């Protein structure tokens, strides 16, 4: 069991149960999954770029990513239907907890001029999405091995029914939010 998973079970679960006064333990919010998504628009002109993006995502997540494809053609972008345009991976269970621990304690402190994550990035259903500008903040990625600096989106999917519960869950688990 990872360090954050242990913290959730021993501290966060009980705190949320008391704070929100849930009638049942089953209503206490938890984490369902984490999705990582990297758009690779330059793959339209150079298909070999997709291979490096897949390898970087595999190193970051610890599992094989899925190549996302265009749903329809857009002539202005020289994009045809079914062309590869990104990579994504969904982390669940143990890999999710391990990634979350590495992301919070190792990767986020590597961000230049980091002052905390914005509080407004919730979707209204208890999910939190943030953008990472550089993949090199992850220790698995060597600066010498990359061709291009790419960003990615990280989404924390929770079982919370509203943003207030999801914010408190993420705050208690240790996600550093900005002081507004």
Model confidence band, residue 180 (pLDDT cutoffs 50, 70, 90):
low
pLDDT digits (tens, 9 = 90+) for 75-104: 666 667 777 778 899 999 988 998 888 888
Q: Ramachandran region of residue 116, left (φ > 0), alpha (ψ -120 to 50) or beta? A: left
Segment 120-144 shows an average pLDDT of 77
Asked whether residue 148 is domain-assigned, the answer is yes
**Cα–Cα distance measured from residue 118 to residue 177, given in angstroms and rounded to the nearest whole number:** 6
- The reported pLDDT for the residue numbered 142 is 63
Mean pLDDT over all residues of the chain? 81
Asked whether residue 10 is domain-assigned, the answer is yes
Residues 6+ apart with CB under 8 A from 157: 31, 32, 33, 34, 35, 127
Asked whether residue 9 is domain-assigned, the answer is yes
SS3 102: helix
Domains in the chain, number = 1
- The reported pLDDT for the residue numbered 35 is 92
Asked whether residue 48 is domain-assigned, the answer is yes
Q: Which domain holds residue 151?
A: 3-114+121-173
Asked whether residue 108 is domain-assigned, the answer is yes
Nearest to 58 by CA among 69, 48, 47, 50: 50
pLDDT digits (tens, 9 = 90+) for 20-69: 888 888 888 888 999 999 887 776 667 677 787 888 888 888 888 888 87
| CATH of residue 126 | 3.30.1440.10
Asked whether residue 154 is domain-assigned, the answer is yes
Asked whether residue 180 is domain-assigned, the answer is no
């Amino acid at each position: 069991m990872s360090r954050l998973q242990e913290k959730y079970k021993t501290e966060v679960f009980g705190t949320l149960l008391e704070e929100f006064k849930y009638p049942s333990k089953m209503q206490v919010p938890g984490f369902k999954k984490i999705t990582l998504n990297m758009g690779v628009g330059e793959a339209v002109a150079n298909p070999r770029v997709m291979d490096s993006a897949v390898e970087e995502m595999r190193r970051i997540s610890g599992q094989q990513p899925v190549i996302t494809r265009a749903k329809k053609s857009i002539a202005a972008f020289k994009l045809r239907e079914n062309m590869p345009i990104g990579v994504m991976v969904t982390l669940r269970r143990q890999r999710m907890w391990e990634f979350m621990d590495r992301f919070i304690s190792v990767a986020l402190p590597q961000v230049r001029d980091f002052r905390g994550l914005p509080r407004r990035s919730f979707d209204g259903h208890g999910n939190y999405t943030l953008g990472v500008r550089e993949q090199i903040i992850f220790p698995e990625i060597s600066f010498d091995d990359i061709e291009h600096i790419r960003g990615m989106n990280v989404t924390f999917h929770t079982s919370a029914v509203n943003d207030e519960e999801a914010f408190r869950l993420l705050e208690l688990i240790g996600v550093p939010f900005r002081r507004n």
